[in-house]
Amino acid sequence: MFENIKTYPLETPALRPLELMPVEVRGQRLIMVRDPLGVIEGTALLAPDPILMVLFEMANGETPVGEMAQRLTMMTGQIIPAGIFESAIKQLDEALLLQSDRFAAALKAKYEAWNAATTRPYRIYQAPGADRLKMMKELGEEFRRHKMSAISPPENLELAKGAVVGVVSPHIDFQRGGELYAWAYKALKEYGTGAKTFIVLGTSHRSGTHRFVATRKNYDTPLGAIDTDQAILDELATEFGGELFENEFLHRDEHTIELQAMYLRHTFPDTPIRMVPILVPSFDDLLDEEGTPRADEEITAFVAALRRILDKHGDNVAVIAGVDLSHCGPEFGDEEPNTPERQKEIRLGDELSLEKAVALDADGFFETFRPDFNSRKVCSIGTVWVMLEVMKGRAEGKLLKYNQAVSPDQNTLVSFAAMAFSKVGAEVKPPSRIILLR
């Protein structure tokens, strides 16, 4: 995948594709750098130095360092030595921000390590040093908290027993979204069909050369690994006939399936369950067109293949979609903070989209984002669309819970929901009551 990656000498540097986002940390304005390829672990923070900003603008692989210095000298009227740019470029290269030989070597090393591994290691929760027991204790306390707050699921979800064939769960971190994970996985465990294989549709926040990306690697979690169902994955690949594995490296750093794997292992600690992990990107690129996702042959072929797999395996297979909704506020590029009025506006937009989702109206769901080209920055349009198409005719949707996580400074708002999909016609039986006569 990365054998022929183009690189540029430091004499004519090129900034590689990165996500640059202004942030404020402890009152200081900085630039947060996110790496779509995951070569840089975590995030990097840069000071918004004017020279750095000019360098970012001109680092296109064609402009020599000396010319950069000359341009800035003309712009400012101050003599800017080329050595200042050379020093900055060297630091950027050491930080792996440039499309250089150093970056290509680092990317190749990570790609080869990924290919050699049989298991996708967990990345979100890491034990400091060797203190795994402490991490396990903290995780246990976190899962218990999900059942004890004001928005935790009640004892009765009013779903039909043995009827839930799929759920929508958040993919936000457990600290902010844990209670809604609890809603989704309670529905799956207490009202599910007893499935032993879960097809997990995780939202991909990075794009590849294909719409759908599967992996054969097992997913490890702090609570124990979940094996990939190789047989069903092979069947799906055959039914689909398209490319599922070329961009498999995207699984390395994507958290949306990892969090579902953790909650699955927590929910079914002693059950030999398996997963079929598949990443699905947003379909934002289709909002510029007049059609719908069903006009894309790759998308419709995948949906048809997945439906055939569900038809074949029946109650033995269920589907999970790892989904977040709106991302609003200055941290996500908006000018205004998330005031109570803005939060209400976001909720109304989310509710309109969720109304279409409950009705299993995939195209209607998609159309709710077209008028403003997804101004709420919902990251999971594609994941939800596929889920609705797969469930159409076989299930009825129910919104279990909706919530917004807003930071204290109102700079960040992320919304998410838990949904359940139950077999068509399944009846909800009222809870039995025992009346003692005296």
Spatial separation of the C-alpha atoms in residues 226 and 17, rounded to whole Å: 33
Pick the CATH number of 19-114 from 1.10.3470, 2.60.450, 1.10.10, 3.40.50: 1.10.10
CA–CA distance, 105 with 107 (Å, rounded to integer): 5
Secondary structure class of 176 (helix, strand, coil): helix
When pLDDT is averaged across residues 227-255 and rounded to a whole number, the result is: 95
Please tell me the predicted confidence (pLDDT) of residue 434.
60
Tally DSSP H helices, then E strands, for the chain.
Answer: 12, 14
For 138-171, the pLDDT digits (tens) are 899 999 999 999 999 999 999 999 999 999 999 9
Average the pLDDT over 45-51 and give the result.
Answer: 79
- Average pLDDT of the residues in 73-96: 84
Q: Is the pLDDT of residue 384 over 60?
A: yes
By mean pLDDT, which of 4-13, 41-50, 311-320 is the weakest? Answer: 41-50
Question: Residue 19: helix, strand or coil by DSSP?
Answer: strand
Provide CATH 1.10.10 ranges for the chain. 19-114
Q: Over range 201-229, report the average pLDDT.
A: 93
* 228 or 425: which leads in pLDDT: 228
* Lowest mean pLDDT segment, chosen from 45-59, 102-116, 214-228, 364-378: 45-59
Q: Which pLDDT value is given to residue 436?
A: 58
| Token code pair at residue 276 | 């079929």
Q: Check the CA dihedral 251-255-257-262 and report its sign.
A: positive
Outline which parts of the chain fall under CATH 3.40.830.10.
122-423
pLDDT exceeds cutoff 60 at 1: no
Superfamily per CATH, domain 122-423: LigB-like (3.40.830.10)
> Whole-number mean pLDDT of the chain?
91
Per residue, the 3-state secondary structure of 271-312, as one string, reads: CCCEEEEEEEECCHHHHHCCCCHHHCHHHHHHHHHHHHHHHH
198 vs 107, more confident = 198
DSSP string, 27-85: TEEEEEEE-TT--S-SEEEE---HHHHHHHHH-BSSS-HHHHHHHHHHHHSS---HHHH
The reported pLDDT for the residue numbered 129 is: 58
Q: Which residue has the tokens 């059950």?
A: 271
